[in-house]
Amino acid sequence: MSLYVKKFGGSSVANAERVFNVANIIVEDYKKGNDVIVVVSAQGDTTDDLIAKAREINPKGASKREMDVLLTAGEQISISLLAMAIEKLGYPVISLLGWQAGFNTDSNHCIARIKNINTERMKNELDKKKIIIVAGFQGIDKYDDLTTLGRGGSDTSAVAIAAAMKADRCQIYTDVDGVYTSDPRKVKFAKKLDEITYDEMLELATLGAQVLNNRSVEMAKKHNVELEVLSSLEKKPGTIVKEKVKMEKILIRGVAKDMDVSIISVIGLKDNPGIAFKLFNALAQNKIEVDMILQSVGRDGTKDISFSVKRSESENAMRTIDSFRENLEFESIKCSNNVAKVSIVGAGMESHPGVASKMFEALYDNQINIQMISTSEIKISVIIDEKYADKALTVVHDKFFG
Amino acid sequence: MSLYVKKFGGSSVANAERVFNVANIIVEDYKKGNDVIVVVSAQGDTTDDLIAKAREINPKGASKREMDVLLTAGEQISISLLAMAIEKLGYPVISLLGWQAGFNTDSNHCIARIKNINTERMKNELDKKKIIIVAGFQGIDKYDDLTTLGRGGSDTSAVAIAAAMKADRCQIYTDVDGVYTSDPRKVKFAKKLDEITYDEMLELATLGAQVLNNRSVEMAKKHNVELEVLSSLEKKPGTIVKEKVKMEKILIRGVAKDMDVSIISVIGLKDNPGIAFKLFNALAQNKIEVDMILQSVGRDGTKDISFSVKRSESENAMRTIDSFRENLEFESIKCSNNVAKVSIVGAGMESHPGVASKMFEALYDNQINIQMISTSEIKISVIIDEKYADKALTVVHDKFFG
């Protein structure tokens, strides 16, 4: 007998038919004698509809506390409907709101962090052999006020329950059947992975492969919760996310592209100590997140620094640097928006120095010019012209998996 | 400085415009230095929409516990939106769910009764000079499960808060501007009452003038909470409901008709002791509510008993009596469905014996035959042919108010 925590997103419970589909998945594991705790998001567009209602009343100024009161109603509706479907199938079930399930959070409304989970109620209900349906995304603070966990909150709720209840596995059901070596809609030979490490998953998520929310993967890593990403529509094993996986011959786990990139280059910086600190400190103070950084020797004893930011941040970054012009002393500054980042991720590459050259070879063979390179222990990213992004994704992927 | 409890129904907050209308009413009293606690129902058709969702999942069998989880989401949405509107107007406000406002109930899901209200949180928020918006209709039981109060629950919530917080007045805002001497859509000269007693209000509500739910009036009477029924759309005084009112020249408060009536006559009952007991005991055991009862002498030492029931109960009542035929010993039994009840209500009639004859005169003048008569201290009801119901309503009303 095992304890499974299962999480279903909003599209999985969008209408009565899908609610029953989910109910059947739950009941199937319960019938085998397992304990099952389910975390569910708000149905389909419910959250968007509620946000629209709030915008109609107060387009900008609605307080975060009241937003949380409003939005948590969405999961309240979906948990009761899912419980009713399981009742209809004839199995014992109880729905619990975040606070009933013991989710204590801080008071940062709309982006609250879980402080602890009081598992007493959930344990009591499991003792009564009930299937438990928990409202994801929500908790309560020390003032007894409702809070929400922010983006991807239901994934976080599921992992937190799995950790607190020492579940055997936390299963995240989605509309894809697992984690792929690349986007299957773009890359013909993309393969589903049986296993992936937490760190690899984190890198892939950061690179735009948003199957799992990073915060939930970080929490799973911290508490060593075994995750499974699987389909709510097809009945087959998904991808397991855990600390260590069998290496076999696979060096890399995935290839991803990210179009939300701009490169900013500061040319002819005076080569004084602390110049890089001054530059990036100015950006940090304006809350601009910098991803890749490249420093090169410029002409006449100056240096050039290039870095990547999200495209939506590029103007802000340009303005920030320009306003520090006197302090920084540089010749010119330029911004390219028509670039893309292509990355390969895999814990295997650490001990295989040939990985990078294999990637570069694939790009060279296809006449794709590399503008910047950045490497970490488990990732190699290159910046290229955005018009070659899809081609690069395919040729790099096929070099490793073809 | 006074404390007002204001209750707004679902149609009063059905859309953003109406929400702001309500917000303005609230703010107006708050600006004068008063404390304001507001009870609000779910927006417009929200409750019906949620019920439809439940029916789609499980047409009959949804558990009452899960129905309560589902339905309480409706008020959760409306309280947060109303709070956002008041924030937009620039006033301090906080929304509270039933359990946050301290509503402790028994565990009879869907028809829970309030056990007590822990007023600590509401008092704290008033101390902070906040306007409080409370979700009506809902509470929590000793297991920390959500409950609802059943029909008219929001009125009950408002009166309960007014009683627990010792409010100066409990104002029930509706789409009419008060309690009328008769249905203004039917009776041309219907007049709005300035004041009415709890007992009169209870009789009128029972007779189908559903401005206020009986349970809330009973609670108001018990705790001596002064009620005011007034319009959420027009700014003018409504009708005050309280223990004693100035009598002036008004003998009766209202004239009402009730079409949901059937008369069942049991003819030729043996005149044995206990026959009435046996008859009505049989009906009571089948949970059939009997309203008026009339016993008359029949032929040959027998007696006839006629009584009124709700029309939907008439078949059941006939069946019940028929199944006791041996025990009861009667000749025949008949049922008339084409009848109506017209009643006059007023604490003034107690000491004015001419009231009944004045009513009968109005009916006689218009050739309306009376089939049954029933009187209580503050009410006289007659059963007539249903085709004369509207005419009777008008002529009786005009006899007293014309």
CATH code, B10: 3.40.1160.10
Whether residue B117 is contained in a domain is answered as yes
Nearest to A50 among B77, B83, B95 (CB): B77
Sorting pLDDT into bands at 50, 70 and 90, what band is B395?
A: very high
B16 contacts A88? CB cut-off 8 A: no
A144 contacts B69? CB cut-off 8 A: no
Sorting pLDDT into bands at 50, 70 and 90, what band is A209?
A: low
Partners of B81 on chain A (C-beta within 8 Å) are 53-54, 57, 70
CB A129 within 8 A of CB A30: no
The pLDDT assigned to B204 comes to 82
| Lowest mean pLDDT, pick from B47-61, B104-118, B374-388 | B374-388
The pLDDT assigned to B10 comes to 93
Q: Can you tell me the mean pLDDT for A208-212?
A: 69
Output b/e per residue, A325-340; b: 16+ Cβ within 10 A.
eeebebeebeebeebb
- Which of these, B309, B215, B200, lies nearest to B256 by C-alpha position? B200
- Which of these, B332, B319, B324, lies nearest to B277 by C-alpha position? B324
Helices (H), B197-239: 198-206, 214-223
Q: DSSP for A350-394?
A: GG-THHHHHHHHHHHHTTPPP-EEEEETTEEEEEEEGGGHHHHHH
The pLDDT assigned to A166 comes to 96
The distance from CA B15 to its chain's CA centroid, rounded to whole angstroms, is 25
Burial of residue B334, with CB atoms counted within 10 A of its CB: 0-12 exposed, 13-18 middle, 19 or more buried:
exposed
Whether residue A181 is contained in a domain is answered as no
CA distance A167 to chain B (A): 25
Give the Cα separation of B34 and B37 in Å (integer): 10
Question: How many residues are listed for chain A in this entry?
Answer: 402
Partners of A83 on chain B (C-beta within 8 Å) are 63, 66, 69
CB B197 within 8 A of CB B214: no
The pLDDT assigned to B392 comes to 94
A85 contacts B58? CB cut-off 8 A: yes
Q: What is the pLDDT of residues A319-331, one digit of tens each?
A: 999 888 887 888 8
Domain with B118, as residue range(s), is 3-174
Q: Can you tell me the mean pLDDT for A241-267?
A: 83
DSSP secondary structure code for residue B180 in this structure:
B
Nearest to A84 among B54, B81, B145 (CB): B54
Q: Can you tell me the mean pLDDT for B187-194?
A: 87
Partners of B145 on chain A (C-beta within 8 Å) are 100
Partners of B19 on chain A (C-beta within 8 Å) are 57
Q: Is residue B366 over pLDDT 80?
A: yes
DSSP secondary structure code for residue A347 in this structure:
G
CA distance B80 to chain A (A): 5
Give the Cα separation of A20 and B62 in Å (integer): 14
ipTM value: 0.81
Radius of gyration of chain B (CA): 24
Nearest to A63 among B53, B87, B145 (CB): B87
**A37: which 2 tokens?**
């705790």
A70 contacts B72? CB cut-off 8 A: no
Whether residue B306 is contained in a domain is answered as no
B19 contacts A81? CB cut-off 8 A: no
Other Cβ atoms closer than 10 A to A200: 24
Whether residue B109 is contained in a domain is answered as yes
Whether residue B97 is contained in a domain is answered as yes
Nearest to A70 among B61, B70, B77 (CB): B77
The pLDDT assigned to B357 comes to 83
- The total domain count for chain A is 1
Query: What is the chain A residue with the closest CA to B97?
Result: A69
Share of chain A above pLDDT 90, in %: 62
The pLDDT assigned to A207 comes to 67
Q: Can you tell me the mean pLDDT for A348-367?
A: 83
Nearest to A144 among B56, B95, B100 (CB): B100
Give the Cα separation of B390 and A121 in Å (integer): 58
**A306: which 2 tokens?**
């290039």
The distance from CA A214 to its chain's CA centroid, rounded to whole angstroms, is 4
Sorting pLDDT into bands at 50, 70 and 90, what band is B208?
A: low
Q: Is residue A248 over pLDDT 60?
A: no
Give the Cα separation of A394 and A390 in Å (integer): 6
Residue A19 Cα distances to A37, A38, A41, A105, A232, angstroms: 16, 13, 12, 29, 11
| Lowest mean pLDDT, pick from A15-29, B32-46, B282-296 | B282-296
Q: Is residue A83 over pLDDT 70?
A: yes
Q: Can you tell me the mean pLDDT for A134-140?
A: 97
- Which of these, A49, A48, A40, A45, lies nearest to A22 by C-alpha position? A40
Whether residue A35 is contained in a domain is answered as yes
| Lowest mean pLDDT, pick from A44-58, A298-312, B51-65 | A298-312
CA trace torsion B359, B363, B368, B371 (10° rounding): 20
Q: Is residue A158 over pLDDT 60?
A: yes
Q: Which of A40, A57, A94 to mutate to test the interface with B (most CBs of B within 10 A)?
A: A57
The pLDDT assigned to A282 comes to 86
The pLDDT assigned to A210 comes to 65
Query: What is the chain A residue with the closest CA to B82?
Result: A57
CA distance B84 to chain A (A): 5
The pLDDT assigned to B207 comes to 67
Q: B133 Cβ partners below 8 Å, 6+ apart?
A: B38, B40, B79, B82, B83, B86, B93, B94, B95, B96
The pLDDT assigned to B339 comes to 95
Share of chain B above pLDDT 90, in %: 62
- Which of these, A389, A375, A355, A351, lies nearest to A187 by C-alpha position? A389
Sorting pLDDT into bands at 50, 70 and 90, what band is B274?
A: confident
Q: Give the DSSP H/E element, type plus range, for residue A172.
A: strand A169-174
Whether residue B384 is contained in a domain is answered as no
Output b/e per residue, B248-285; b: 16+ Cβ within 10 A.
eebbbbbbbbbeebbbbbbbbbeeeeebbeebeebbee
Give the Cα separation of B174 and B192 in Å (integer): 14
Helices (H), B90-152: 120-127
Whether residue A109 is contained in a domain is answered as yes
Q: What's the mean per-residue pLDDT of chain B?
A: 90
Give the Cα separation of B147 and B142 in Å (integer): 10
